[in-house]
Chains A and B, each alone.
Chain A
């Protein structure tokens, strides 16, 4: 099975900061990756699909990119509502695999 390694596991940042979260796949997965945001007690909300496409209604400060088997979620200027836990999700025809999660906290 393909493994997804997400880093960092936690991150402290301030409003207005630029932050990046990374997921590395154990083998090539094309662009079969999405990024999710989850707040406590809520269902996950997708931000990015197909590695770099912005989900409808998601602010443009969120962006995704891919370099080989490394995928990055970037938040260009953190807003108060962005403090949450973020997950990558690899999907294919057989199985889906989540990254371990990144908890983004206020510094």
Chain B
């Protein structure tokens, strides 16, 4: 079955970068794009961006443009999200997900807590 397994919790200082990975299994890797969603403590869900392993197409939330990068490693079936120039407002749980809005296909990773603190 489809599984998304994320890397472990991270603690970073303001100004640093963080890279969160999402290892996939159970389907043909290039079939689905990977979305990234984050949730700050006690807050709602916020879409971060999306990447297609098929053609490397990427979409990002406007507020994060210029600070976020997404990459894929086909050999390990892993999609990664890197966020640079971290501030305390980037403290959140980051989720990777497969969200197909037109079929009953919706899978989520377990979430990766990222804490930014001096």
CB within 8 Å of B: which residues of A?
1, 32-34, 36, 38, 43-46, 49-50, 53, 55-56, 87, 89, 91, 94-101
Contact = CB atoms under 8 A, between A and B. Distances in A.
Given A49-B106, A55-B106, A43 B95 contact: yes
Contact of B111 (A43, A45, A87, A100): A43
B44 A49 contact: no
Contact of B46 (A56, A91, A94, A98): A98
Given A43-B95, A43-B110, A49-B106, A87 B45 contact: yes
A50 B102 contact: yes
A49 B107 CA distance: 13
13 contacts: A34-B99, A34-B101, A36-B45, A43-B95, A43-B109, A46-B106, A49-B101, A49-B103, A55-B104, A87-B44, A91-B101, A94-B59, A95-B59
Given A44-B108, A96-B35, A101 B45 contact: yes
A98 B35 CA distance: 13
